[in-house]
Structure 1
Amino acid sequence: MRIFWSKSRELLEYIPKRIKEKYWLVIIKRRPWVKRAFWGIVIFFTLASAGSYYYIFRYVGDLKDDNGQLLDFSEQSQAGFKLTSYVYADNNETIGRFFQEVRDPLKLAEVPEQLKNGLIAAEDQRFYSHPGVDLPAVIRAVVGNILRKFNIKYLRNSGASGIAQQYTRLYYGDKIKQFYTREHTLSRKVKEARIAIQLVEHRSRDKIIEDFMNMIYLGHGVNGVAEGALRYFGKDLRKDELTLREIAILVSMNKSPSLYCPVYHKPNEPIIDGKEDPEATQKIKKEYEAESAKEIIRLTFARDRYNWVLERMLDEGNISKTEFETTRFKKDEPLDSDLIRLKPIKNPAYGYGNRMVKEFLLSRGVSEAQLSEHGGFRIYTTINTEVQNIASEEFEKHLGSLNEGLKQEDKINGAFVIIETSTGNILALSGGNNFDETQYNRAMASRSPGSGFKPFTYAAAMEHYQKGFFDKICNCPFTRIWGEGKIWAPQNFREENPVPYGYIDLATGLIRSINLATLNLAMSLPNGAQSVVLTANSMGVRGNYGVVKDSDGNVWFRRPGYDGNGGGLEVGLPTVIGGSDVNMLELANAYTVFFRKGIYLRPTLIKEVKDSYGIKTIFKSDAPIAKEVLSDKTADKMVALMRAVTKIGTAKISMRDIKQQVACKTGTSNGPKDVSIWCGTPEIVIAFRFGNDDFSKIIDLPTYMRKTSGSINTQVTGGWVAGPLARRVIDRIYENRNKVEFSEQVENYLNELTQRYSDKN
């Protein structure tokens, strides 16, 4: 009020100077009774107008939307804003959003008090006392607008719309077109004011300002103060404090997000290739300089607005004079780069995991509208940000190395999955290198695992037919005639030092990944390939397209458009060496059985889903039921065999001298079309797979293989291509963790194997 009256006196002194030639003003000045009569008339009409204004706005006519429906002003009526659903990692860090509008609604108690004070000071000082429309503010705005027609400066440009009226526009914007388009008409203003009066009468002021702070648009794609603080300052309003400068910036952007945005939008520098004539070049440079100057001027206006908000807070007693002086932006002071930390809305590292979260919920009956508009869910997942970030960084770098020197059409892609063995929690997942470029989820693609499937063949032989490490199996060629006279003559992978034909130890068959020995082992079992398929099924490997099933065949995860009946492991010999297509997630989870002493747990991605305020539970994942599908003896032996793979087998080069104990199986499919590695520690199972999206053969990777093996003629295999990546990821994960060891029994089995083969490998 102090500013209002001081400016009023300034106005009375200023008007005669501006328009003293007007005779009627001279008369008023020289004849006091005329002056008193003049002001009496002004006051009378002001009061009469105010009374009529309130009566009409309060009592006359029904208030309806554009469809003729009466508006609901009750406290229970839901705010008309769209809600964002948030995806959280296991440490409650936000890793994803599903939205049409980015918004994180807060309760009023969660909003910093000074942020609320700043907004009221700047937008509507009498918010808690006026009836919905601030008449003095309306009169001030009308007088100011009239005087500006005569080029008379009076106060700062200010609108008549207080918080209740602004809230009305936001709240009913989807029901009343006038509010959405912000058309400058008297009818819109009248309707807006009438609705504001009704809202204030039917709702608490606290509810109105709570909704208002959640609805306002603050630029850069975010709505509401919670997302604004996170986007611009990287702060979570539920636990972080805002500085006064940050408050002034957020409050200012409610007025105009584009004008008062604190981010310097540097114009694109012109590309001058020297071919333009000097005049054109000069024109381009001047345009660039003009755009740069325009942006600097905009930031100057923005800084003035921030200071104005602080002044208003000072006038309202929200801050002290000392706080104002130490906080305000000085003239020509650049905005501190540390103040603004524009945080991206999306993080591509979590794109594929978030897509699976969405598909999981859609398969559970949640609608797209609930996820992106109305639900505002809080989705708590098992994803571990440390593990995901390590794997994503190394995966991206590794793909760059693999594709170095290749033509675009020959470039390969891949996927990875990391699962915690003790719980079945999915810690990290990616279906490709760039989710924004292609949303094809390769972690759920049905592809041949090649030799990565062989452990299930050996597990079946050990579990159901008591085969041991040193039982003999035949590494012998054979042929089979399939339907219509097709001849199948499987071969071993070509290598420099192949295992000779003849009878070999069962352990050698897996450690050296020998196709013929594995096939003959399966044929020696009473039920042949069926035993292998049933064992794999019991461990959760089904091979159905677009789904992941549990040990009992129940669908745990389903992609949209799949019923879970297509595909499936074929009961045939090619399957025992990886000839049937499976998805990466189901196979990686099956590997956890080996590292869990033979116990199957279905995987878990979502722990629970709550409402927008984190109170009501919408969905909660059942604790996975432990089911013994292998004996602990068989499981330990399989882990020991895969430990031997890292010592004397196909992963010995990539895992040489690794500090964290690890067990692995490499995979190379026919062609090869896919290369992979499947590794485990006592805590996690980690899997990487690479291939071409069109299923074409990976002919060669000359640049990568030369750097990795020293020769461009080295064959492309899972050990060479995927092994080094798995090694780096495991090293980084355990860099700051305590190293963990396998059980004494596993290490005893490993010693048996390494001692037997120490002279042969």
Structure 2
Amino acid sequence: MKKYITLRNFKRLFVVGSITFIAFILFIFFSLPSVKDLQNIELQTPLRVFTQDKQLIAIFGEKRRIPVTFEQVPKNMENAFLAAEDSRFYNHFGVDFPGLLRATKNLILTGEKTQGGSTITMQLARNFYLTSEKKIIRKVREIFLALKIESTLSKEKILELYFNKIYLGHRAYGVAAAAQIYYGKKIDQLTLAEIAMIAGLPKAPSRYNPVTNMKRAMQRRNYVLKRMLYNDFISYNDYVIAYLSIDQAKINNIEIDVNAPYVAEMVRAKMYEKYGEEAYTKGYDVFTTVKGNLQKKANESLIKSIESYDRRHGYRIPEKKIEAKFFLNSNFEYDIEEGINNSKDVLSKIRQIKNHVPAVVVNVSKKNMIVYTKLGDRLELDLSALRIKKQLINENKTIKINNFDDVFELGHIISMQQIKSKWYISQIPIVSGAIVSIDSNSGALKALSGGYDFRISKFNRAIQAKRQPGSSFKPFIYYSALKKGYTPATLVNDSPKVFKEDSVSEAWRPQNHSGKFYGPTRLRYALAKSRNIVSVRLLDDIGIDFTIKQLKDFGFDTSKLPKDLTLALGSGAIEPIKLAEAYTYFANGGYDIDVYFIEQIKTRSGKLLFVENPRMVCGKYCDSESLDTIQFASAQTLEELTELRKTAGLPRFALKTADSRIIYQINSMLKDVVRYGTAKKALSLKRRDIAGKTGTTNDQRDSWFCGFSRNIVTTSYIGFDDFSPLGSKEFGSTAALPMWIDYMKKALRKEPVLDLEQPENIVAVRIDSKTGLLASPKTKKTITEIFRKEHVPNTFSEGSNILQKKEEEITTPELIF
């Protein structure tokens, strides 16, 4: 009876077990994700940023991946992975059952769960759909998924997905990314030994990594080579050569073509705003409006100007120092070798900024000094190594360095700079600056740099620094005055005057920089020479409310501007890019354009997702073809140009918001700033079509030059982030203008000399240079002035009876100009 019950129970258990097993299998099968999506899978691929001419600027994204097709993968690469991971890949249907049996046997005998039996298809299933945890239910799902994938995709497609998906350490996903990161090569440039090294990584990307554990990595590489030989994938001769080769793996950062980190960060922020976290994983390619050659020149010009300022103001005594005890040997005696050995660890933790190589002073006397550099060089220096010949006392005072030991001490951490074959003592500047260059017809950003080095400070001074523009703001005051009825020939008395200002605790007595007064002065001359008194008197006469209203025509946020007479001297804080944008009105004839820096966004496959369609300035001879050529300068074929226009939509035209005749007059007056005014250094460019305005603020805290040709507006700026004074001899003309000249020399090289088109009802008239009235036969000195037709003087000069007031020198308590 008991035997009968046991058999009956066994049958019941068998039925229940079978049903449960079938239900489990059905549950697993029907809970599997669809693998059809794998045919059109979008791998997580980083964001790439390019210049307009398709040069790489930056890559953003946690995963480094360079998608490749199956055909692009070398045969040796395919064979290496098959030898290491799945030699029977082409002979199974996704699951290697003998391998699974071996893994099962090992589990029964040892109780250990291993990776054995995982085919490439199973690894692909795990990478796309499952976790890496070693559980039986995960393994079952993996098996069924692998079978499903094999029934859906070809072997070639499976390998292609695998080669792009597999993680290979150090943020490298896929074989192409691994080739770049470990060897700085494309996959078709790898040697057999390097291929084997990469093929050995999937088993344990950290344990067998050639960068972090070369010994184990070499063992794994050689194992892969043996497997390739065993499977007849390579010859014995190839095996020996690869086996004996020394591996050169190291971390190779992706080489960019153009260094533009501030622009790259602007793009990254804009893309994140638009796409969120997907911006870093969808493989977007962003093409900016930046021109590669101009960006390189902007970087160079900014760095050159900052370093030039730094050298003018002397060497700063080093702040960091290695303690003296690190130069003592076991007998407590000074030992230079001991000091060098102890310096190595310190120097290894100091990053090199540009070509300033960190170094430690290991011996110093009056006329000689020995330093040890981060590069491992021991340099013996004499006083000729002092490229900066003077020591900084304060912003206005330096003293000559006669002896090394007057400035340097044992253990000082300094910087060395190699110029040609000679080493010089250098220092990393603490002053900063910005340069921004814009196409005046479209607003396209051509170049931008927001600081000396992005690694020192990510603060983008070109778009984030709110600084007083000083005299570079004066043209907008003059525009308002001309709008009120003044002319470039109007005389304004440059003489002392006390103003009662609510924003100033005491009576305000503005001064010219020279501390002198010059009497009646024509507006044109006053702007060229940057006379402060004339600007303040103008604003006082035309009224602040009237002026604020005119400033709206230039896109200024007037709510942030001061509502007092200091506005005449540029006391309102503004970002360099905003000031450059406002100057585009003077260059293009008064049209309102917006600055933009992203031209187009594409998927990695080349599909256009977005094309900017800016408001463009369209002149008298404008047509759609020329507009497209200007807007889409990156297009290399007619088909590409047509596709860009189709995606962008119909052309948009800029609106004229400023009076074109007054703009023409201001344009002409700003050319005189270059011809004989504060920016006459720019005459070195030997062009008649350039114009602009210098700017310096109180105590020389900010130095500016805003200048332009017909098609390009560029603003350069120098200043300390903490608003420290630059020095009493530093002005817009000395600190910022040289940067502008150096950059524009390149930017204007292929630009035709082109003047702003003269509007109707503008006339040129001969006037008396002193009175501003019409020239008479008795007038001794005449000039040609341009007027709006209705504002031509109706009185002849009576022989220039207005006497030039004798210059009066005074002490200058306040400098805003």
Aligned to 2:724: 697
The residue type equivalent to 1:693 in the other structure is: D
- Give, in angstroms, the shift of residue 599 of structure 1: 2.6
From 691, 699, 711, give the equivalent of 1:671: 699
1:273-284 equivalence runs, <5 A: none
1:646-694 alpha-carbon deviations (Å, 9 max, x no partner): 33222224x3523566433211122333211112234422212222323
Aligned to 2:295: 388
1:654-669 equivalence runs, <5 A: 655-659=682-686, 662-669=690-697
Would you say 1:725 and 2:739 are equivalent positions?
yes
More strand per residue: 2
Q: Distance in 2 between matches of 1:112 and 1:330?
A: 16
The residue type equivalent to 1:214 in the other structure is: N
Would you say 1:215 and 2:215 are equivalent positions?
no
- Give, in angstroms, the shift of residue 426 of structure 1: 0.7
The residue type equivalent to 2:28 in the other structure is: L
The residue type equivalent to 1:687 in the other structure is: T
1:733-752 equivalence runs, <5 A: 733=747, 737-738=749-750, 740-743=752-755
Q: Distance in 2 between matches of 1:110 and 1:474?
A: 77
The residue type equivalent to 1:677 in the other structure is: F
Q: Distance in 2 between matches of 1:472 and 1:540?
A: 29
Distance change (3 Å), C-alpha of 1:216 and 1:581? same
Would you say 1:459 and 2:471 are equivalent positions?
no
From 414, 431, 441, give the equivalent of 2:460: 441
1:519-561 alpha-carbon deviations (Å, 9 max, x no partner): 2223343xx3344433432222326xxxxxxxxxxxxxxxxxx
1:197-596 equivalence runs, <5 A: 197-203=147-153, 205-232=155-182, 242=189, 245=192, 250-258=198-206, 295=214, 297=215, 300-301=218-219, 304=222, 307=225, 311=229, 315=232, 329-330=241-242, 332-334=244-246, 342-344=252-254, 349-363=259-273, 366-373=274-281, 375-403=282-310, 405-406=315-316, 411-445=430-464, 446-462=466-482, 464-465=483-484, 467-483=486-502, 486-495=505-514, 500-525=517-542, 528-542=543-557, 567-596=559-588
Q: Distance in 2 between matches of 1:680 and 1:327?
A: 64
Q: Distance in 2 between matches of 1:493 and 1:236?
A: 63
How many residues get paired? 595
Q: Distance in 2 between matches of 1:223 and 1:616?
A: 25
1:565-610 alpha-carbon deviations (Å, 9 max, x no partner): xx52344332232111222212112212222233332112112223
Aligned to 2:129: 172
From 637, 642, 660, give the equivalent of 2:670: 642
The residue type equivalent to 2:733 in the other structure is: G
- Give, in angstroms, the shift of residue 480 of structure 1: 2.6
- Give, in angstroms, the shift of residue 639 of structure 1: 3.5
- Give, in angstroms, the shift of residue 204 of structure 1: 5.1
Distance change (3 Å), C-alpha of 1:500 and 1:617? same
- Say whether the 8 Å CA contact 2:468–2:573 is kept in structure 1: yes
The residue type equivalent to 1:601 in the other structure is: I
Q: Distance in 2 between matches of 1:646 and 1:603?
A: 26
1:136-215 equivalence runs, <5 A: 136-138=98-100, 160-173=117-130, 176=131, 179=132, 182-183=133-134, 189-203=139-153, 205-215=155-165
- Say whether the 8 Å CA contact 1:476–1:520 is kept in structure 2: no
From 651, 669, 686, give the equivalent of 2:679: 651
The residue type equivalent to 2:574 in the other structure is: V
Q: Distance in 2 between matches of 1:90 and 1:515?
A: 42
The residue type equivalent to 1:523 in the other structure is: D
Distance change (3 Å), C-alpha of 1:618 and 1:522? same
SS at match of 1:688: strand
- Give, in angstroms, the shift of residue 80 of structure 1: 9.2
- Give, in angstroms, the shift of residue 170 of structure 1: 1.8
1:324-381 alpha-carbon deviations (Å, 9 max, x no partner): 96898455444579xx892347899433222322333455xx25322234x4432221
Q: Distance in 2 between matches of 1:394 and 1:85?
A: 29
- Give, in angstroms, the shift of residue 126 of structure 1: 4.1
Would you say 1:63 and 2:63 are equivalent positions?
no
From 87, 94, 97, give the equivalent of 2:56: 94
Q: Distance in 2 between matches of 1:589 and 1:166?
A: 55
1:230-256 alpha-carbon deviations (Å, 9 max, x no partner): 44565678xxx5456565554444455
- Give, in angstroms, the shift of residue 716 of structure 1: 2.0
Please give the TM-score of this superposition, normalised by the length of structure 2.
0.62
The residue type equivalent to 2:177 in the other structure is: E
Would you say 1:627 and 2:535 are equivalent positions?
no
- Give, in angstroms, the shift of residue 515 of structure 1: 1.4
- Say whether the 8 Å CA contact 1:599–1:630 is kept in structure 2: yes
Q: Distance in 1 between matches of 2:57 and 2:149?
A: 37
SS at match of 1:457: helix
1:607-633 alpha-carbon deviations (Å, 9 max, x no partner): 222345332515644555312234555
- Say whether the 8 Å CA contact 2:225–2:243 is kept in structure 1: no
1:452-495 alpha-carbon deviations (Å, 9 max, x no partner): 11122223334x24644332222233233233883352423423
1:4-42 alpha-carbon deviations (Å, 9 max, x no partner): xxxxxxxxxxxxxxxxxxxxxxxxxxxxxxxxxxxxxxx
Q: Distance in 2 between matches of 1:233 and 1:455?
A: 56
SS at match of 2:706: strand
More helix per residue: 1
Q: Distance in 2 between matches of 1:135 and 1:621?
A: 59
Please give the TM-score of this superposition, normalised by the length of structure 1.
0.67
Q: Distance in 1 between matches of 2:174 and 2:125?
A: 16
